Structure 1
Amino acid sequence: APICVAIIIQVCLLFCIGSRIRELLNQTDEVRDGLSVLSDVLSLIERREFHSPHLTTIITALQTDGVPPSRSIAQLRRNIQGLNNCFRNQFSAPLTILLGIPFHYMFAIERWLQRVGPHCPEWLAAVGEFEALCSLAGYAYEHPEDPFPEIADPVEGPRFEGTELGHPLIPLDQVVRNDVTLNSEHRLLMISGSNMSGKSTLMRTVGTNFVLALAGAPVRATRLTVTPMQAGTAMRVQDSLQQGASLFYQSVARLSAVVHLADAPEPVLFLLDEILQGTNSHDRRIGAQSVIETLIERGGIGIVTTHDLALTEITSLFGSQAKNVHFEDQLIDGKMTFDYRMRPGIVEHSNALELMKMMGIELKALDPEQNPESADLKQ
């Protein structure tokens, strides 16, 4: 009789909390293997002795209730594994249910969630920060030739002053380096140039090294001095068929986001590639000038690239604070070559027609009498 009563009680319990057991199994099945990795990582961190004040602070966040987090996580994994094992074998599952073993595991997991669960966000944040710091340290170890940047006092105004800047993703034996100076006295670089000459790559070089610098990593440069700033970029803008947004609309939306960044007290390092594509030269000139004026008036510094030489005239509005520079190509034996060197001034020629010829497109001269608009443009 006592056995029958026990069986009835176990069956009733199964019907009452069976849905909760299934819910726990579904929730924990995906994270079971991850808990093992997390426990190993926490154990590795706990065994190390750190002298850095910042790392010591992170370690302090892991010390809760006197039980190492790695042990608590391992305990949770064992309980989850035990609960799964109760239902894995079809022959032994009825016996484990009659003995009430699944209920013991379930209650153990519930107690763990109530007692230890609130500390998990802190542990995950600590592990995440350690992972990020290890990535930066690994990058520094793998690039001993790259120096660490100098972080200047923002009271002196925004600064991005790099000597022999190169893109970190281009191999050392191929990278071409250029000097870039942006500060309170030189706020704008307007870059013109032919296709594939290096305009966008320079902009990416500046942006990537800026992010590395503020993250605490070494930079691909001989020397780099920066102040803390926000990064506002409008690069690789594309239209969207799904959203029903044209290229020009997407460009304006992206520029609007950059301009709104400038509302904050912290200055903006703006990087605008081929500003306002998808509209005519007249509207592009007015729009680009308005955006650049707004960003500079609000304390920003940055770079703008363009194929539209009319935009290079905008620099005259800012006097010595703005500078025109360019990249160019050379046609040698019918082959286009680039040295990717930034030069002062406005580019003097384009390679668009030469590139079309190289691709086998036959070009025909326009007849001014048949095309009066081209004649007006020529004048």
Structure 2
Amino acid sequence: MISNLRLLVFLIGIAVAWASWWMQWFAWYWVAAPVLVFAALAVAHDAAIRSLKRARLAIAHYDRCIARVNDRWAGAGRRGDDLQPANHPYAVDLDIFGAGSLFELLCTARTRAGEQVLAAWLTAPAAVETVRARQDALAELRDGLDLREDLALLGADVDSGVLPDVLVKWATAPQNFSSSGLRVIAVVVGALNVLALIAWPVFGIGPGLFMLGLIAAVLLTRFAGGAAVKRVVEAIDEPGRELALLAKVLARLEQERFEHGRLRDLHADITANGARASVCIGRLHKLLSAFESRNNQLFAVIALMLMWDVHFAYAFEAWRRRYGANVKKWLDAVGELEALCSLAAYHYERPNDPFPEIVESETVFDGAEIGHPLITSNKCVRNTVRLDKTTRLFIVSGSNMSGKSTLLRTVGINAVLALAGAPVRATSLRVSPLAIGATLRVQDSIQSGDSRFYAEIRRLHQLSRIAREPLPLLFLLDEILHGTNSHDRKIGAEAVIRSFLGAGAIGLVTTHDLALTQAVDAFAPYAINVHFEDHIEDGKLAFDYTMRPGVVQKSNALELMRRIGLDV
């Protein structure tokens, strides 16, 4: 509508100008009327575009919120693949990153700093005091819908955002200039070039003087301190990406008023000492935008004449000298606040998921009716798992597709949530600080020449090292050592489990090999057998995914093979 009006007013302006200047039907100043109307419509049009963009972002934000509530979120968020640590003891096994992952479900961060902090929380257990502090912070942030909406409407996608480590490295690097001599020379040469440019048309002095000034500017920029200038202007390129978004996020967080101690501390980190982080980052963004105007072909000659690179190299160095030491603190604070906002949104959208009780007096994982948070609510079957000083090991048997591996993932991912400070999918959960390790998705590798069995024993060796560390291990071993013969498997599995239990670990082991279920006797009284089973329903295999005590009494492998057409 407004764009059509602008076009109409523009055409009217052309007609008025023609009638005034060419036909001389009325005075020339009548042209001012359509010009003023056109300018007003341009301002209104720009405001309407911004409002429309904000409305679309708001719709997208609430669509994502509703999708998470309705379990339709998978594939629509940030996967976080690039944040997955190499050779991590459980990240791949428990679907922490990737399509349909825990990270995709949780992450609402607008900056790379927020993503990195959330990823760090999901890949390492926090100390007890830290977990409790995060729980208190989430309780305060839970109903902060306006804050989360405002952050979501700030514009650009995080994919193109500033990399925190790169920005910190740039901000804290040693200074490149030991004196301001080159800047003084640049001011003098720039002023002389301006005078030469003015003298050319005004006093009739030929272009030679002006060209001489340009040559002097080029030579001085390149040779008199040119290496330092080049280092400065090249170094700002990568850390300078999307500083505008970071400044906006900081500005919105600065406006918030917090009550919880940790939140107040983080807020103080971005507002302390009279240096508001958003203002300082905003200044750097404006400097960079002005500096990049040299890339405009119409301005390039003027930039050369004024020795633009030199002036801005000194300006960037002055910014680093004044604010560089604060950058890491600012990014750490904004990252933690955004990670807390992500978990607070999860807490708000799942009001029935409680905070776990963090226990320090014993090694325990006691989950009542725990479910998997990545499985849709209407399909999620819950089971109760209690591992403590009396029952430290579950040996889980069962038929194919009956729920054994899902049980391990359910225990593991709820432990991850609990020790990150988030709510858990359970009726209740008591859990102590634990290191987590799993073998649910170890794979062979053509590149390294490792078989699946070799990859598994390497992971088991990694877990054995973790088990000897101060934090007790929660081990989740799926089909342990199934890449070897039954005799070696039983001996090897019992030895591995015995070493874990001897180090104070607790955990679950799944198996199809019923011989391994006899290991309960070797680990008595600390181990029990549990199982999952299937049944025939309307002539088809069906599963209820309910954990039962004891050893499974039947197998469905042959039946599954027959049902897909194999002649067995």
- Whether the 8 Å contact between 2:365 and 2:431 is mirrored in structure 1 is yes
Shift of 1:21: 5.1
Per-residue Cα deviation, 1:106-149 (whole angstroms, up to 9, x for no partner): 21012112321222111111111111111110100010111111
What residue identity is the alignment partner of 1:275? Answer: I
Which residue of 1 is the match for residue 524 of structure 2?
A: 319
What residue identity is the alignment partner of 1:123? Answer: W
- Whether the 8 Å contact between 1:35 and 1:74 is mirrored in structure 2 is yes
Which residue of 2 is the match for residue 334 of structure 1?
A: 539
Per-residue Cα deviation, 1:23-75 (whole angstroms, up to 9, x for no partner): 55544344444211110111111111111111122223224542211111111
Structure 1: segments with no counterpart, 5+ residues: 364-379
2: CA distance, partners of 1:132 / 1:40: 17
Of residues 445, 449, 453 in structure 2, which corresponds to 1:244? 449
What residue identity is the alignment partner of 1:12? Answer: L
1: CA distance, partners of 2:395 / 2:329: 46
1:266 aligns with 2:471: yes
Of residues 56, 62, 66 in structure 1, which corresponds to 2:274? 66
Of residues 46, 50, 58 in structure 1, which corresponds to 2:254? 46
Structure 2: segments with no counterpart, 5+ residues: 1-188, 197-208
Which residue of 2 is the match for residue 374 of structure 1?
A: none
More moved, 60-69 vs 164-173: 60-69
Which of 1 and 2 has greater Rg?
2
Of residues 103, 116, 132 in structure 1, which corresponds to 2:323? 116
1: CA distance, partners of 2:447 / 2:227: 41
Shift of 1:218: 1.1
- Whether the 8 Å contact between 2:214 and 2:304 is mirrored in structure 1 is no
Which residue of 2 is the match for residue 225 of structure 1?
A: 430
Of residues 300, 304, 309 in structure 2, which corresponds to 1:102? 309
More moved, 57-66 vs 193-202: 57-66
SS in 1 for 2:487: helix
Which residue of 1 is the match for residue 370 of structure 2?
A: 165
Which residue of 2 is the match for residue 305 of structure 1?
A: 510
Per-residue Cα deviation, 1:224-269 (whole angstroms, up to 9, x for no partner): 1101111111111110000100011001001111111011111111
2: CA distance, partners of 1:97 / 1:334: 83
Following TM superposition, the consecutive aligned residue runs of length 4 or more in structure 1 with deviations greater than 6 angstroms are none
Shift of 1:102: 3.1
1: CA distance, partners of 2:252 / 2:378: 38
- Whether the 8 Å contact between 1:25 and 1:84 is mirrored in structure 2 is no
2: CA distance, partners of 1:64 / 1:108: 23
Distance 1:146 1:345, change over 3 A: same
SS in 2 for 1:191: strand
Shift of 1:22: 5.2
1:349 aligns with 2:554: yes
Shift of 1:20: 5.1
Distance 1:64 1:101, change over 3 A: farther
Shift of 1:196: 0.3
- Whether the 8 Å contact between 1:163 and 1:222 is mirrored in structure 2 is yes
1:184 aligns with 2:389: yes
Which residue of 1 is the match for residue 288 of structure 2?
A: 80
Shift of 1:200: 0.4
Count how many residue pairs are aligned between Structure 1 and Structure 2: 360
What residue identity is the alignment partner of 1:324? Answer: N
Of residues 359, 375, 378 in structure 2, which corresponds to 1:152? 359
- Whether the 8 Å contact between 2:293 and 2:299 is mirrored in structure 1 is no
Shift of 1:312: 0.6
Query: Percent of aligned pairs with the same residue?
Result: 47
What residue identity is the alignment partner of 2:283? Answer: Q
What residue identity is the alignment partner of 1:191? Answer: V
1:37 aligns with 2:245: yes
1: CA distance, partners of 2:391 / 2:563: 39
- Whether the 8 Å contact between 1:32 and 1:81 is mirrored in structure 2 is no
More moved, 320-329 vs 110-119: 110-119
More moved, 98-107 vs 159-168: 98-107
2: CA distance, partners of 1:279 / 1:95: 74
Which residue of 1 is the match for residue 180 of structure 2?
A: none
What residue identity is the alignment partner of 2:520? Answer: T
1: CA distance, partners of 2:354 / 2:533: 29
Report the RMSD for the aligned CA atoms in angstroms. 1.8
Bigger share in strand: 1
Distance 1:216 1:125, change over 3 A: same
The alignment's TM-score, normalised by the length of structure 2, stands at 0.61
Which residue of 2 is the match for residue 279 of structure 1?
A: 484
Of residues 333, 336, 345 in structure 2, which corresponds to 1:126? 333
What residue identity is the alignment partner of 2:254? Answer: E
Per-residue Cα deviation, 1:260-295 (whole angstroms, up to 9, x for no partner): 101111111111111112111111111110111111
Per-residue Cα deviation, 1:159-212 (whole angstroms, up to 9, x for no partner): 111111111111222211111000001000000001000000011100111111
Which residue of 2 is the match for residue 366 of structure 1?
A: none
What residue identity is the alignment partner of 2:275? Answer: V
What residue identity is the alignment partner of 1:72? Answer: C
More moved, 31-40 vs 274-283: 31-40
1: CA distance, partners of 2:231 / 2:353: 51
SS in 2 for 1:219: coil
The alignment's TM-score, normalised by the length of structure 1, stands at 0.90
2: CA distance, partners of 1:345 / 1:284: 21
Distance 1:21 1:277, change over 3 A: farther
Per-residue Cα deviation, 1:329-358 (whole angstroms, up to 9, x for no partner): 112343110000000000011111000000
What residue identity is the alignment partner of 1:332? Answer: E
1: CA distance, partners of 2:213 / 2:337: 50
1: CA distance, partners of 2:417 / 2:547: 22
